[in-house]
């Protein structure tokens, strides 16, 4: 029992890894299925005659972050039928052992077929796994049974399909440390709005009313007056510097001379959102952004607010350490992690296009550490 209690700090730790703008929601549901029950009858003279029975449950949960949910539940796991062994005279000779459980679990959504938006909204098809603690109790009626350990570890794995309206269907299997395994179908409903429907704050102002105009007076007829003779020569018109690509930066200062009109540029005339984003780093061999990377992306989100019509491709690259297949998968997860973070800061999903290149486009040699560091990068590219 003590070793299970040591897991509680771990449950609390993993439950706080949330995206700041994620909308946490409460959900509730019911479920039913089948249980495989295996009470320990060794050296008792009894045997398990029937170990499979129907099960049912009620549960209440909390979506704490895009990847984590916490839930508590009550389950009736059914009953196992016990009979005496051949040639024995036991009293009573047979009976049922009823099982029920109260528990709490942490569920990790580790994959969504709807990519980033599926994690934020709990929509589409997702895969999850979880662990928790359960208080398992048994009732054998007149049978001489003894509960050896009531607090047990539970492990869960399953799939969930959610709709935008908050309804979801789960199919999962749960195993307890001893005695029981359940296979269940569950129906649940999430209360509240949609987590993925993030938008920029409304900064539009109501249209100003034109000032009241005085009533129009009829024109006064006057005699035309002769124009005065000019007293000075007008100054010549100012000649504006040439701007060949119409990006607002004159050719004399324009480093990128073919950006075109309508593309946001910096003071040197180069696209504002193109190129490597310095400082966007991840934990080693993982898709978790560092705190410094999140601060950099906050600035990117602010610039994207200033240009609401700009769409960007998020291109993630790796070095050549490991296999090409695993590097390509890692770069895809990292591109999605950047997109998810920008969405959490209010940037519309339609403006973001994650792209993964793995180790296929190095910009430096992978033979040394400094070159590999340059190859591990995230770049943006403005798209139409």
Distance of CA 75 to the CA centre of its chain: 29
Q: State the pairing for strand pair 377-383/275-276.
A: antiparallel
State the CATH number of the domain containing residue 371: 3.30.1330.60
CB-based contact 296:279 (threshold 8 Å)? yes
Q: With respect to residue 224, please indicate whether it lies within any of the assigned structural domains.
A: no
Retrieve residue 239's tokens: 């000649």
The pLDDT value recorded for residue 43 is: 72
The mean pLDDT of 66-79, rounded to a whole number, is 93
The mean pLDDT of 58-65, rounded to a whole number, is 94
Instruction: Label residue 322 exposed, middle or buried (CB < 10 Å: 0-12, 13-18, 19+).
Output: middle
The pLDDT value recorded for residue 12 is: 41
Pick the last residue of a domain from 169, 190, 211.
190
Q: What is the pTM of this model?
A: 0.51
Residues 172 and 65 in one domain: yes
The mean pLDDT value of the chain amounts to 81
State the CATH number of the domain containing residue 172: 2.40.160.20
Range of the domain at 186: 2-190
Residue in the block written with tokens 């973001």? 352
Q: Give CA separation, 342 vs 20, 147, 227, 282, in Å.
A: 11, 52, 64, 15
Q: What is the pLDDT of residues 77-116, one digit of tens each?
A: 988 888 877 666 666 767 788 889 999 999 999 888 877 7
The pLDDT value recorded for residue 252 is: 74
């Amino acid at each position: 029992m003590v070793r299970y209690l040591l897991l509680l700090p771990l449950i609390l730790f993993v439950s706080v890894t949330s995206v700041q703008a994620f909308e946490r929601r409460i959900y509730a549901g019911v479920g039913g299925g089948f249980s495989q029950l295996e009470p320990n009858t060794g050296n008792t003279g009894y045997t398990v005659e029937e170990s499979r029975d129907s099960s049912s449950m009620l549960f209440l949960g909390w979506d704490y972050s895009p990847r984590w949910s916490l839930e508590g539940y009550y389950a009736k796991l059914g009953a196992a039928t016990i009979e005496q062994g051949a040639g024995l005279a036991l009293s009573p000779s047979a009976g049922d052992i009823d099982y029920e459980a109260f528990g709490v679990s942490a569920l990790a959504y580790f994959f969504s077929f709807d990519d980033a938006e599926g994690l934020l909204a709990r929509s589409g098809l997702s895969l999850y796994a979880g662990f928790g603690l359960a208080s398992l109790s048994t009732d054998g009626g007149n049978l001489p049974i003894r509960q050896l350990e009531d607090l047990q570890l539970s492990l869960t794995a399953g799939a969930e399909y959610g709709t935008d309206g908050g309804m979801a269907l789960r199919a999962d299997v749960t195993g307890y440390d001893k005695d029981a395994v359940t296979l269940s179908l569950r129906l649940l409903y999430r209360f509240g709005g949609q987590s993925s429907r993030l938008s920029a704050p409304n900064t539009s102002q109501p249209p100003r009313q034109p000032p009241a105009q005085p009533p129009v007076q009829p024109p006064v007829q006057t005699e035309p007056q002769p124009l005065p003779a000019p007293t000075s020569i007008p100054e010549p018109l100012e000649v504006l510097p040439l701007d060949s690509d119409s990006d607002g930066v004159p050719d004399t200062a324009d480093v990128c001379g073919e950006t075109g009109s309508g593309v946001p540029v910096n003071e040197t005339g180069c696209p504002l959102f193109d190129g490597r984003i310095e400082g966007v780093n991840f934990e080693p061999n993982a898709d978790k952004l560092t705190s410094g990377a999140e601060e950099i992306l906050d600035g990117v989100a602010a610039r994207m607010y200033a240009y609401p019509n700009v769409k960007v491709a998020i291109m993630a690259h790796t070095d050549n350490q490991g296999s090409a297949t695993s590097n390509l998968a890692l770069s895809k997860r990292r591109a999605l992690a950047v997109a998810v973070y920008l969405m959490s800061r209010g940037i519309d999903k339609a403006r973001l296009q994650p792209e993964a290149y793995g180790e296929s486009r190095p910009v430096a040699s992978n033979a040394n550490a400094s070159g590999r560091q340059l190859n591990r990068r995230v770049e943006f590219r403005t798209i139409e």
